[in-house]
A = this chain, B = another copy of it.
């Protein structure tokens, strides 16, 4: 709450002082039990596996959710925002259906594990040797498709094009170095995590932050799609018979990733550590074996293979090759986003891990490019370049199988980096009111379940739409990545310029170089590949910006509407709310707006809708009468005869409450009631109307359709009208 709202709250409270004398009479007798202040009631944290099932109340369909009134205190997260750990944002698990369905809940436990309390969050951290494989799987695995993507462009110009392999690769390595160093600075400058979104937003303004976030989001979706496409390609290179199953296999992998990540972050780390290390071993073995072979030949390069020349060497070709090859560095930002997931001291551990990662990345990228040059391998559509290299070094033997398996595994799991980052960025956006608040909710395994599901859906859509072809996805990929890089590093330039820490000049030069190179890749990718797919990414970014700004505007309106307005309650109090008097009926203009009111200012009229004089109706009438406020009973008759009959029964009962019958010759029921209540409100704007409806509740849901749906339909229609409170009095059938 802001200072101004706290003052407003105090003034509202003072206004209430005048009226809240009565409650103290019954206050002491209130049935508040001391052991009801905690849920689940047992104080110790839930034990493993079935711990959560025990404290759940034995009720059908409870369900869990965020607090009832709209966005949960967005202002709360605003001031300490960037300093707050994710534990502060922990809200509510998404498991209404699990609670409603005990069998579903058991299945959920078996699949996802026991729930974790919010206080467990801090222990859910990764040490460096786990964080390295988890967070760098994306970046390291990129060498499986990056060099190939670069060569695919260069080879279009034949031998003349391939001659540019080393220069282009050298620029990419330099770019990797520059970006890596830049992110080292970022990690120290932003020890509480947040990558391009935070850096760009802080230094270049919120719009730049949003654009960077848009780039990041498309990047994460495409990381999943591209990594899986490339991983499946590694498998189909070794087992060509699986090629027709490319799309279903990829979707199956997305489903597995979804399930794994709903279990939470630590398990994901342990699960995904092995393949990355296996891949690193495979790559160094491949490069080592290739270099030994080459050394035996005296490092003579293989003759340049003869390929059909379709394009001339030119700036456009070179830059396209550069931007394609630069996809080898996607994922390099993952660590800077995930600093809070490291064990303390977070920023130091993250920096060290980043250095290791960039070192490995450069070594592997350079080694593979050299190996390709030495062996004269050329990209083919039916076999990946890595598979060709492995065939050359290891033939068909078991080590070839190992290389392909490790490549596939690391690529399929590289997608997991996105599963760590996408929800984090989305939760930052939700915290800043740019995304729906549901993305703030932590599941009961402390994973952002909603974001995880959203990422899986988006990635599966892209993957299926592009038939799981890596080559078709690469043009989409570069735009988002380098948009985020460019903005992030530009932001760092501004950061250094403003802060002028020690060595700021060197850092600024590094970051400026990175920003210029990233911007160049972005420009190249956006222009030269626009028609071949980049337009999809640009469109997605534009839609993202549109939606996020709309969401932000809506939340701003909401917050403004929900602000306490003390002046409204400082109106002179009118005579106490008792029986309805004609003077009150006229209402006053001040009542027309929905503002806060004092209890004494509220004038009640209860409207009870009754169809027949059965037990449910009698209970509803008794409830309405017991509120000791004016009551009006409305009955809809479809014929005049029915109207007469109902009036007869009514006077037989004793005419205890005023009755109004409405004739509806077209047999409608909801429309006349809504019309009646709306007219009542228009004629008496000062009244708060409480519409009281009986509602039959069956024990089994399949029986509910045997009964009228009037109550829910009326509720849906009436909720749009102002100053109308809707009350349902359930009547429970034994079946």
Contact = CB atoms under 8 A, between A and B. Distances in A.
B669 A64 contact: yes
Contacts of A675: 39-41, 57, 59, 62
Nearest to A728: B726
A674 B6 contact: no
A731 B9 contact: no
Interface string A451-485: 00000000000000000000000000000000000
Nearest to A6: B652
A706 B436 contact: yes
Given A20-B656, A720-B61, A68 B609 contact: yes
Given A13-B656, A68-B714, A653-B12, A598 B623 contact: no
A292 interface: no
A671 B62 contact: yes
A732 B594 contact: yes
Contact of A70 (B12, B93, B672, B696): B696
A430 to B, nearest CB: 10
B599 A693 contact: no
Interface residues of A, number: 185
B563 A614 contact: yes
B660 A31 contact: no
Contacts of A441: 667
A161 interface: no
A721 to B, nearest CB: 7
Contacts of A707: 70-71, 437, 558
A625 B23 contact: yes
Nearest to A58: B678
10 contacts: A1-B649, A20-B625, A39-B664, A68-B695, A72-B611, A88-B639, A92-B638, A119-B639, A623-B688, A715-B728
A619 B599 contact: no
A119 B665 contact: yes
Contact of A39 (B61, B656, B672): B672
The copy count of this chain in the complex is 2
Instruction: Report the 6 A-B pairs with minimum CB-CB distance, sorted nearest first.
Output: A67-B611, A39-B672, A13-B654, A64-B668, A599-B625, A599-B626
Given A662-B36, A725-B729, A717 B10 contact: no
B735 A730 contact: no
B671 A56 contact: yes
Given A667-B444, A676-B36, A16 B654 contact: yes
A597 interface: yes
A674 B719 contact: no
B731 A669 contact: no
Nearest to A687: B31
Contacts of A697: 719-720
Contacts of A594: 619, 731-732
B37 A670 contact: no
